[in-house]
Amino acid sequence: MSSHAHSHEELHGTSLEHEVHAHHGHDDHDHHHEESFVSKYIFSMDHKTISRQFLVTAVFMAVFAMMMSLLFRLQLAWPGEKFAIANALLGDKWAPEGVLDANMYMGLVTIHGTIMVFFVLTGGLSGTFSNLLIPYQIGARDMASGFLNMLSYWFFFASSFFMVISMFVEDGPASGGWTVYPPLSALPQAMPGSGLGMTLWLVSMSLFIVSSLLGGLNYIITVLNLRTKGMKMTRMPLTIWAFFVTAILGVLSFPVLFSCALLLIFDRSMGTSFYLSDIYIGGAPLEQTGGSPILFQHLFWFLGHPEVYIIILPALGLTSEIISVNARKPIFGYRAMITSILAIGFLSFIVWGHHMFITGMNPFLGSVFVFTTLLIAIPSAVKAFNYITTLWKGNIQYTPAMLFAIGLVSTFITGGVTGIILADSALDINVHDTYFVVAHFHIVMGVSAILGMLAGVYHWFPKLFLRKMNKNMGYIHFWITFVSAYGVFFPMHFLGLAGVPRRYYSNTEFPMFENLQDINVLITIFAILGGLGQVIFLFNFFYSMFFGQKSEQNPWGSNSLEWTTPMAHTHGNWPGALPEVHRWAYDYSKPGEESDFIPQTVPLRPGEEDGGGH
């Protein structure tokens, strides 16, 4: 058994390199590491396997959440209409005769948001790519702690499990929106979903936070301690910078969400009143008094806002790498990109109040948050301009990954500019919680991050599954996804400008919204098209996993270290000694060189300047 070798490596992280060297001195290395099915594929401590576990779980969760969105989109486009599919999926209680129930509508909206934000774009995105790329791209044999890494996945799995089964409890899932503001979420008298469904939501999220912290600590320590010789911080690919800052954000902000959730658990089951005061509900005054529902929002958004950067930074990191590789050009302004990531990371902690302009918060505080929030637009703009300049005079290779990466830049701009409006508290007054906001955040972080994640899947599929995904299906998938993303979310701005609030089960109760129905139909048609487009992806993904074309070692002509490993899942990543790094990761099309890429392991020529060190 390999357990001895394993534990030895984990306990002595620093001597890991040495150990594995010694192993690889012998040819019988593989025999030593013969692993059982369970330790290889289930309770694996190998970063590559854990990465795949995160990805497959996230794909499952994404399908689940996307189907929910299609169900509520049907209701919004054709309110009260009967859909056999709704009845087939939700049953007679929640969709009698195929008409979606109002409580279930709220439940679907809530769980859709929760899964997409946390399970797909936080757990799925960071879990997959930080795990895969941090050891690979910094030249490490594995994560600093394989054991904690394994725990991180299994907490994620348990948390996903509880979130999914919460859909099936009698009173329905949590239904107070993904932000679960109390008192609504604290009191089962207020809505059925605030009963067992909400309890499961809290259990699930607590487990999720544990997973995220275990993962995050591991990523930070690995980046700081396990970089191979020559891999200075200023030579790291931008992917690693993005994952590194993301992990720091997570470690600093998720504990606050934990405390936020914990106090809510206390209020719900132990009679405390952190968030409750002066409430009369269900025909009786509530005994608990003296708390503040606004406290919850401060705690929630103290995580909640960094959270959107926890989602978007990794996607931007993946994009930086993919755009540079496929434009066959160095990323423009490497140092400025790092500075932008750091600036965004820092600012993300002092802007949470812009979610709360109209809670009755002191207006002066509102002004401060207007100021800090609008500052974030500066590093974000720098990033967008740098991507565009990277394309300039490039020799763009349109792999499916490159299409998705360029798509991300476009949606990041389109969604970003409306953020300038929403950050302005005076303007926020009339569009707060309307479809204008729904349009904004879906484009800037939902669509952008999904496009980034898909770009990453296409680009690193050969490192994940040793095969390539089908190119032509990738093209079809991209164009359907991109067109439908704009088709779904762009018209939503206009609904917001017409005053339509979000989270309305139906807009039929207001005569002023009557003439907007065709917009909702248009949105739903694009949503269905987009959903069908993902079927192509799912087929390509699972088919290529087993039957795809085997990949060569460096299919995209890339400089970073992961492509210097053989196309095999070897424990320890490099069969021989760890690679030594001599240059930054972006020497593409360097003048005077024959090849249009120079891997980081190639020593600098005499007198040659290292691009990363300028």
| Binders in 475-494 for other proteins, by CB under 8 A | 475-476, 479, 482-483, 486-487, 490-491, 494
Instruction: Output DSSP code: residue 365.
Output: H
- Write the binding mask 259 to 278 for other proteins: x where contact by CB under 8 A, - elsewhere: -----------------xxx
What's the CA gap between 468 and 562, in Å, rounded?
Answer: 16
Q: Residues binding other proteins: what is the number (CB under 8 A)?
A: 128
- Minimum Å gap between C-beta 3 and other proteins is 40
Binding other proteins (rule: CB under 8 A), the pick from 56, 67, 184, 602 is 184
Tokens found for residue 151: 């725990």
Nearest distance, CB of residue 96 and other proteins, angstroms? 15
- State yes or no: residue 328 binds other proteins (CB under 8 A): yes
Cα–Cα dist 239/382, whole Å: 17
Residue placing its CB nearer to other proteins in the complex, 29 or 503:
503
CB count, 10 Å around CB of 332? Answer: 21
- The answer to whether 130 touches 27, Cβ cutoff 8 Å, is no
> Tell me, what DSSP letter sits at residue 512?
G
CB of 239 to other proteins, least distance (A): 17
User: Is 553 near other proteins (CB under 8 A)?
Assistant: no
Would you state the torsion angle of the CA atoms of residues 173, 529, 417, 58, taken in this order, to the nearest 10 degrees? 50
Position among 471, 542, 603, 605 found at the interface with other proteins (CB under 8 A): 471
Among 97, 367, 542, 613, binds other proteins (CB under 8 A): 367
Considering only residues 287 through 306, tell me which ones interact with other proteins, judged by CB under 8 A: 289, 291-294
The string of DSSP letters for 530-596 reads HHHHHHHHHHHHHHHHHHSPBP-SSTT---SGGGGS-SS--TTS-SSSPP---S-S--BS-TT-SSS
Choose which of 433, 570, 575, 608 interacts with other proteins (CB under 8 A).
Answer: 433
Given the complex with other proteins, which of 41 and 479 has the nearer CB atom?
A: 479
Tell the burial category of 476 from Cβ atoms under 10 Å away from its Cβ (0-12, 13-18, 19+).
middle
Residues 46 and 150: their CA atoms lie apart, in Å, by 8
Positions in 191-220 near other proteins (CB under 8 A): 191
Q: Does 384 bind other proteins (CB under 8 A)?
A: yes
Structural element, H or E, at residue 436: helix 435-441
Site track 124-163 with other proteins (rule: CB under 8 A), x = hit:
----------------------------------------
Please state the closest distance from residue 598 (CB atom) to other proteins, in A.
11
Query: Which of the ranges 16-24, 207-215, 249-257, 398-406 carries the binding residues for other proteins, by CB under 8 A?
Result: 398-406
Please say which residue, 150 or 598, places its beta carbon nearer to other proteins. 598
Verify binding: residue 342, other proteins, rule CB under 8 A. Answer: no
CA–CA gap between residue 56 and residue 207 (Å, rounded): 19
Nearest to 70 by CA among 495, 528, 480, 446: 528
Task: Tell whether residue 15 is a contact of other proteins (CB under 8 A).
Answer: no
Backbone angles phi, psi at 434, to 5 degrees: -100, 180
Q: Does position 225 bind other proteins by CB under 8 A?
A: no
Q: State which of residues 374, 545, 567, 602 lies at the interface with other proteins (CB under 8 A).
A: 374
* Identity at 297, one-letter amino acid code: Q
* Paired strand residues for 588: 597
Select the span of 237-245, 249-257, 474-482, 570-578 touching other proteins (CB under 8 A): 474-482
Structure tokens at 604: 């600098």
Q: What residues have CB less than 8 Å from 539, skipping those under 6 apart?
A: 473
- Give Cβ neighbours of residue 588 (< 8 Å, ≥ 6 apart): 324, 325, 327, 328, 329, 330, 559, 596, 597, 598
How far CA 426 is from CA of 187, 315, 354, 360, in Å, comes to 33, 31, 11, 13
Of 15 and 289, CB closest to other proteins:
289
Q: Which residue(s) pair with 434 in the sheet?
A: 501
Please tell me whether residue 284 adopts helix, strand or coil conformation: strand
- The yes or no reply on residue 332 touching other proteins (CB under 8 A) is yes
Candidates 2, 87, 234, 359; binder of other proteins (CB under 8 A) is 359
In the list 43, 154, 349, 385, the residue contacting other proteins (rule: CB under 8 A) is 385
Nearer to other proteins, 138 or 323 (CB): 323
Q: For other proteins, give the closer residue by CB, 511 or 606.
A: 511
Q: Which of 23, 141, 305, 329 binds other proteins (CB under 8 A)?
A: 329
Query: What's 285's DSSP letter?
Result: E
Question: What's the closest the beta carbon of residue 320 comes to other proteins, in angstroms?
Answer: 13
Q: Does 187 bind other proteins (CB under 8 A)?
A: yes
Site for other proteins in 512-531 (CB under 8 A): 512, 515-516, 519
Q: Let me know: does 429 contact 354? Beta carbons within 8 Å.
A: no
Q: Nearest distance from residue 149's CB to other proteins, in Å?
A: 32
If binding is defined by CB under 8 A, does position 586 make contact with other proteins?
Answer: yes
Q: Which stretch binds other proteins (CB under 8 A): 25-33, 145-153, 246-254, 470-478?
A: 470-478
Hey, what are 544's tokens? Answer: 């290529």
Exactly one of 56, 89, 388, 525 binds other proteins (CB under 8 A); that residue is 388
Sole window of 45-53, 298-306, 346-354, 362-370 interacting with other proteins (rule: CB under 8 A): 362-370
Exactly one of 255, 590, 601, 602 binds other proteins (CB under 8 A); that residue is 590
Which residue in 371, 576, 577, 580 binds other proteins (CB under 8 A)?
371
- Binding positions for other proteins, 401-430, rule CB under 8 A: 403, 406, 409-410, 413-414, 417-418, 420-421, 424-427, 429-430
Taking CB under 8 A as the criterion, the residue among 3, 31, 34, 280 binding other proteins is 280
Q: Which stretch binds other proteins (CB under 8 A): 29-37, 177-185, 260-268, 600-608?
A: 177-185
d(CA 332, CA 549): 33
Residue 216 · residue 566 · CB < 8 Å: no
The owner of tokens 């390509």 is 540
Which of these ranges, 139-147, 197-205, 255-263, 375-383, lies near other proteins under the rule CB under 8 A? Answer: 375-383
Hey, which residues between 53 and 112 contact other proteins (CB under 8 A)?
83-85, 102-103, 106
User: Angle between the 400-422 and 293-327 helix axes, to the nearest 10 degrees?
Assistant: 140
From first CA to last CA, the distance across the chain in angstroms is 49
Chain centroid to CA 301: 17
